[in-house]
Structure 1
Amino acid sequence: MNHLSAGQTSGTSVDPLLSPFRLKKLEFRNRVISTSHASMLDESGMPLERYQRYHEEKARGGLAMTMIGGSAMTSPDSSWGGGQLNLSTDEIIPHLQSLARRIHQHGVAVMSQVSHLGRRATAYAGNWLPAIAPSRIRETRNRNFPKEMDEADIRRIIRDYASAAVRCREGGLDGVETVTGGHLIGQFLSPRTNKRSDSYGGSVENRARFGLMVHEAIRKAVGDDMIVGIRFAIDEGTDEGSDFDDCLALARLFEREGHVDFFNCIYGRMDTDLVLAEHNMPGMFQRSAPFLPQVAQFRKETRLPLLHAAGIRDVATARHAIRENIVDLIGMTRAHIADPEIVNKILRGEEERIRPCVGATYCLYKKVNCIHNPVSGRETTLSSTIDRAASPKRVVVVGGGPAGLEAARVSAERGHFVIMFEAGAKLGGQILVAASAAERRDLLGIVDWRVNELERLGVDVRLNTYADADTVLAEDPDVVVVATGGIPDMDWLEGSELCDSVWDLLTGALPGKDDILIYDGTGRQAAPSCALHLARQGKGVCIVTPDDALAVEMPYPERASFRKLLSELGIRTMVDVKLTKVVRRGNGLTAIFRNELTGAETSLVTSQVVIENGTIPVEEVFQDLRAGSANGGLSGVFFQDSSHDSLSVGSPNSGKFSLHRIGDAVSSRDIYSSIYEAYRLCSRL
């Protein structure tokens, strides 16, 4: 199919995203898809209820296709230890059939990735089989030394690919895609990982041989009607590997052989956390849609239909990619984790109500939980549809951070009359502090979306209002939700009065001095963000942590990106040391540490000590209200304990209010915890 004619539509829709597209006999109702990814929702490799409901939610949301089975294993020696669909056994077929029926009933196509990990597999979990690869070259990220494949291995794996594709066909799926990149076919294609001197190595034709044989076997096994594509690296982004020209030559070989129906374009490598973050799964540290220019160039040189998904976070960018004929189908995979209703909202004229993907990569850390969509990955226990309450109540929310914003939004969606008190001049709470860092500015989308929703829902928001117990009680509430957050935890440290908080430095409330020590007691984003912020001002910065490495409590893309930037800016680091005391000596400060491994004491002289050690709950109003509440402030809903289900008390006729606290008003946690807690509480009020 010529890609220029493929882009033509029979409709007259003004919005290119909503135009249909035909691929062989398969008709896509629009151009928006979700590509394959490892959701970790399978049960022993089977796509059961949780897995199916997760994908069905996207189908309900109106997209054209959802792709399942990120790194789905074709062979027993293609396991990384769990979290993959197991396409190496017929046991999966009835589950695929169930999933396909659920997706198809919404008019949506479904395909699966079929892949062998090669050297990316583990030898120390799953089936405990040795990893295999074209050559004995260890991958940095997955750390296995592979066995070099012989002819028997090659023949077996080719058969396994074909058998896996047949299981997908018998499971009722519309198609399959293989993967190059860092997976086995890509390991054969790349001169970085293929050092063979036989007919599978050396020249472009030889390096392509294994992949061509795989696709020939798949096509013979499934027939001409089933869609067969390839997730194809168009440039490895390194001098040692396949550059654009080499990848283009490889692509033309696949086109010439005629067994592939589309290219799903990816960029770069995936053999370290850093290149995964910068190439395959660009997050907060990369600009939106970073590889569209390279895909556009690939488009000019090839003829098969193209798919692409990499940092396509917003509808405007997706629309541009289709309008300019860069691709035929655009993947908004993480954007659909944030909001599976993207297409339906476009159709309803509610594009401004799409919950934005902010690129936080939380979904890669706690798969597939979105940092601000608490339903994603929990479709069997939470509903994205917020039903109206049988009897509206007066709900007072104290605090306008992420927990309070979500509590107010969900309560208002339930039909309750909601009043929100916020002590500050702006809504957002600690997100405003986090977004002071350049790399994390997009977190403001979490706040902005909810502020807009509160305006739409008519929530009574009262800024610059410090709400004490009397203020709350004056509103005659039926329900009070305390979401007052926390303040920096400094009191634990002897000499804390000599120190400043990360909040003060990030927001500019206090200036940074020339020589600064930052103590990171959490492993989260705040301290490294502050270090980068100050180093860019020309300050000398040393960051210290009691953990065995920096940034241990982050998604791996952020962890790698932070460490890279810290290194580039020459920021000194110390690990395995706990700050125990700060004393003033002369014009400077001496920070005293205890080594977490040996107990040895060391010290460091600096001009300023900045502390990040989580937060202390701000709980005064909660404690003042407890005695007068119907439930004593106990929220049994969080423990799923019906004997202590405090949501059943505090009705308007009881003469008392029910009281709850959520988020950092309970303990120091993260944005997701606050929003999830607010949702599961208030969706039942």
Structure 2
Amino acid sequence: MTQLIDPLLQPFALKQMTLRNRVVSTSHEPSYTEDGMPKRRYRLYHEEKAKGGIGLTMMGGSAVVAPDSPAAFGNLHLYKDEIVPWLSELAYGVHENGAAVMCQITHLGRRTSNYDGDWLPVIAPSPIREPAHRAFPKVAEEWDLDRIVKAYADATTRCREAGLDGVEIEAYTHLLDSFWSPLTNRRDDAYGMGSIENRLRFPLRVIRTVREAAGPDFAVGIRMSLDEDIEGGLQYNEGVEIAKLLVAEGIDFISVIKGYMASDEALSRVIPPMGTPVAPHLEFAGQVKAALQIPVMHAARINDVATARHAIRDGLVDLVGMTRAHIADPHIVAKIHAGEEDRIRPCVGASYCLDEIYQARDAKCVHNASTGREDRMPHRVPPATGTPRRAVVIGGGPAGLEAARVLGERGHEVVVFEAADAPGGQIRLASSAPRRRDLISIVDWRLAECKLLDVDIRTNAYAEADDVLAEQPDIVVVATGGLPNTEFLTEGASLVTDAWDVLCGAVRPRGTVLFYDDNGGHPGMDAAEMVARSGVALEFVTPERTLAPDVGGVNYPGYFKAFAEHDVRVTLNERVTGVRRKDGRLEVDLYNEYAHATRQRVVDHVVVEHGTLPQDELYFELVPGSSNLGEVDQQALLELRPQQVARNQQGSYQLFRIGDAVASRNIHAAVYDAFRLCIAL
């Protein structure tokens, strides 16, 4: 589509500015701050989206306006004057690349911890604990409300003075909306007592002072839930009524939310992960737009250009949020302009970006290693200088395909040996689970890119050393992955089934099943869910003190729901050590390290998930003929410099191994290994 007919590429007037297109990265917090400031890493992350053609990038999900709203996950400290020059530098960088930039502002209320920051008590309209952050809040007093109103005004002033284009007030499950939500306001004073007038008394004070501090030319929006989608919560009709009152005070746009976020289960419906319908709240956003007649934006699992285009073309929204999609590929709009829509790296909805934040780390795309690392890793692979080299990659999983793609972009001649009849490795296996089917796009995108780059991918090709050497390679990358590990058992490794056998359908456990997961991530949960849905009696055993500790807050509710629906028995703090046959069944030893005691279960089937062990035989066979003897200069790897280790003068090729061929890890680690190694070769 050309710019003349593509609805996504049409400009849009908002307040005193004209956005160059309708595509937005909505307010979110990647947790890239340093001391609460948006320094170089934070700035480059937003600049990259501006370089990629986006109309508006929004930061600070959410920037906190007061010290008694301590950062829940790397939030910006907008209550400090020192933030202004950092914001100014970021605004300059984004503007220089043609995009607008805004900041979301909030007081988190009870949606944070009493035991963080300055250890000031968190506040709320009523003393109701939030399940997700587990804080018991102090009831806000009149003087609390006075100082917070001023804090909002000061924060707005800082954003305006820094040269941003606007602010967005956060009002879903934070302090402001906790006053108007019947779920959280039980006050019997002028700020409660049931009436909308009273429940809005404090929020309207905030909005008026923000509007005044903003001035006539500075945009002020609000991101709010108009239907909390929970029993006893704010309902749609009252939500629209509230929104109309807010708009009357000078709100310039609304970013529409449906739902409530006080628990992880509720959050997973507001920000839907993979395995859920695409754009589940888009029609709702269109309903709000029709009711309010104000510019509306919306973002919730709008991962693909076709859905985004539909949202604009059919008038459901004015601005479409593709936030996680831009974490996967910040150059979406540029690729649309260039007629390369089919080359957009897809967001697969894995929500690794969000899960990492909720694990107290920072946002990462499951299959774009450059996101959040713009200070040292480019999104576009530059061509190599000098004579192209011949590279052989062994293994067509995520590590191998990423290595092939990057080496192909560099201009090298690349051959991939893949033993299976189709590339994909463990991703192809994982995507066989209905909840994780979208993962296959990680493979499909790389296969399409490799085809464009003339990478020679050979399937049903089990590579041995002679096959590799016959290609006369200059570079050999071993990405052979791993195989399920059952060696942790002291007895009975041959009697158990692994999660792979379940996922691929080779084994369908029957009778009474014990599933042992000592990995704590998606593979075990995927396979266990598949077993549970087959109707057998299932006990899920783990040595961890929590279920699936490596599955983050957006994804685990789906598994927990399936476990609850199928009456899965969960046993924590127990380690399977041995399995033996007994009377035609299997006797399982469960060791509890707290009680220092072993007890037994008798079941019909045992399935285990304990990560993988590297398939490294070919690698070690190739080591003697390599110039580097397999050694990696780790400092050069970290600095994206060429690998120049020379330990064997007779060696005819450089040899490296990546991904699970090194150790059992995840998709992001495999892609990251491949990218930072191959971009410098």
Q: TM-score, normalised by structure 1?
A: 0.96
2:413 aligned with 1:417, yes or no? yes
3-state SS, counterpart of residue 222 of structure 2? strand
Q: Are the structure 2 counterparts of residues 57 and 157 from structure 1 closer, same or farther at C-alpha, using a change threshold of 3 Å? A: same
Contact 1:313 1:334 survives alignment (8 Å): yes
Contact 1:583 1:590 survives alignment (8 Å): yes
2:293 aligned with 1:303, yes or no? yes
The 5 A counterparts of 1:171-210 are 171-201=162-192, 202-210=194-202
Contact 1:285 1:558 survives alignment (8 Å): no
The 5 A counterparts of 1:214-233 are 214-233=206-225
Structure 2 match to 1:250: 242
Partner residue of 1:355 out of 336, 341, 345? 345
- Aligned partner of 1:163: which letter? D
Q: Residues of 2 paired with 1:143 and 1:73: CA distance? A: 19
Q: C-alpha displacement at 1:514, in angstroms?
A: 2.5
Structure 2 match to 1:369: 364
Which moved further from structure 2: 437-446 or 211-220?
A: 211-220
- Aligned partner of 1:370: which letter? C
Partner residue of 1:277 out of 268, 273, 279? 268
Q: Residues of 2 paired with 1:356 and 1:12: CA distance? A: 22
Give a deviation string over 1:348-397, Cα, whole Å, max 9, x none. 11111110000111101333210000000111111112111112110100
Q: Residues of 1 paired with 2:14 and 2:118: CA distance? A: 37
Structure 2 match to 1:581: 578
Q: Are the structure 2 counterparts of residues 653 and 330 from structure 1 closer, same or farther at C-alpha, using a change threshold of 3 Å? A: farther
- Aligned partner of 1:103: which letter? V
3-state SS, counterpart of residue 71 of structure 1? strand
Q: Residues of 2 paired with 1:516 and 1:119: CA distance? A: 42
Q: Residues of 2 paired with 1:122 and 1:511: CA distance? A: 45
2:551 aligned with 1:554, yes or no? yes
Structure 1 match to 2:327: 337
Contact 2:418 2:461 survives alignment (8 Å): yes
Q: Residues of 2 paired with 1:282 and 1:48: CA distance? A: 30
Structure 1 match to 2:455: 459
Which moved further from structure 2: 653-662 or 452-461?
A: 653-662
- Aligned partner of 1:384: which letter? H
Structure 2 spans left out of the alignment, 5+ residues: 357-361
Give a deviation string over 1:168-187, Cα, whole Å, max 9, x none. 00000000000111111111
3-state SS, counterpart of residue 647 of structure 1? coil
Structure 1 match to 2:626: 629
Structure 2 match to 1:426: 422
Structure 2 match to 1:675: 671
Structure 1's consecutive aligned runs of 4 or more residues displaced over 3 angstroms after TM superposition are 637-642, 649-655
Structure 1 spans left out of the alignment, 5+ residues: 1-10
Contact 1:634 1:646 survives alignment (8 Å): no
Structure 2 match to 1:596: 593
- Give the root-mean-square deviation of aligned CA atoms: 1.7
3-state SS, counterpart of residue 318 of structure 1? helix
Q: C-alpha displacement at 1:80, in angstroms?
A: 3.1
Structure 2 match to 1:387: 382
Q: C-alpha displacement at 1:13, in angstroms?
A: 1.9
Partner residue of 1:499 out of 492, 496, 499? 496
Partner residue of 2:99 out of 101, 105, 108? 108
Contact 1:408 1:459 survives alignment (8 Å): yes
Q: C-alpha displacement at 1:12, in angstroms?
A: 7.3
- Aligned partner of 1:466: which letter? Y
Q: C-alpha displacement at 1:560, in angstroms?
A: 2.5
Structure 1 match to 2:359: none
3-state SS, counterpart of residue 227 of structure 2? coil
- Aligned partner of 2:322: which letter? M
Q: Residues of 1 paired with 2:118 and 2:266: CA distance? A: 28
3-state SS, counterpart of residue 556 of structure 1? coil
Contact 1:165 1:222 survives alignment (8 Å): yes
Give a deviation string over 1:106-140, Cα, whole Å, max 9, x none. 11000000100011132211111110111111111
Q: Residues of 1 paired with 2:290 and 2:14: CA distance? A: 19
Q: Residues of 2 paired with 1:306 and 1:596: CA distance? A: 55
Contact 2:636 2:643 survives alignment (8 Å): no
3-state SS, counterpart of residue 90 of structure 1? coil
Partner residue of 2:5 out of 4, 14, 26? 14
Contact 2:3 2:9 survives alignment (8 Å): no
Give a deviation string over 1:186-240, Cα, whole Å, max 9, x none. 1111011011122211211211221111110011112111000000101101121
- Aligned partner of 1:626: which letter? V
Q: C-alpha displacement at 1:600, in angstroms?
A: 1.6
3-state SS, counterpart of residue 159 of structure 1? helix
Which moved further from structure 2: 478-487 or 214-223?
A: 214-223
Q: C-alpha displacement at 1:530, in angstroms?
A: 1.3
Q: Residues of 1 paired with 2:603 and 2:649: CA distance? A: 61
Q: Residues of 1 paired with 2:253 and 2:138: CA distance? A: 31
Which moved further from structure 2: 45-54 or 489-498?
A: 489-498
Q: Residues of 2 paired with 1:124 and 1:655: CA distance? A: 57
2:42 aligned with 1:57, yes or no? no
% same residue: 48
Give a deviation string over 1:5-54, Cα, whole Å, max 9, x none. xxxxxx97211101111012110111001011111111101111000001
- Aligned partner of 1:520: which letter? D
Structure 1 match to 2:232: 240
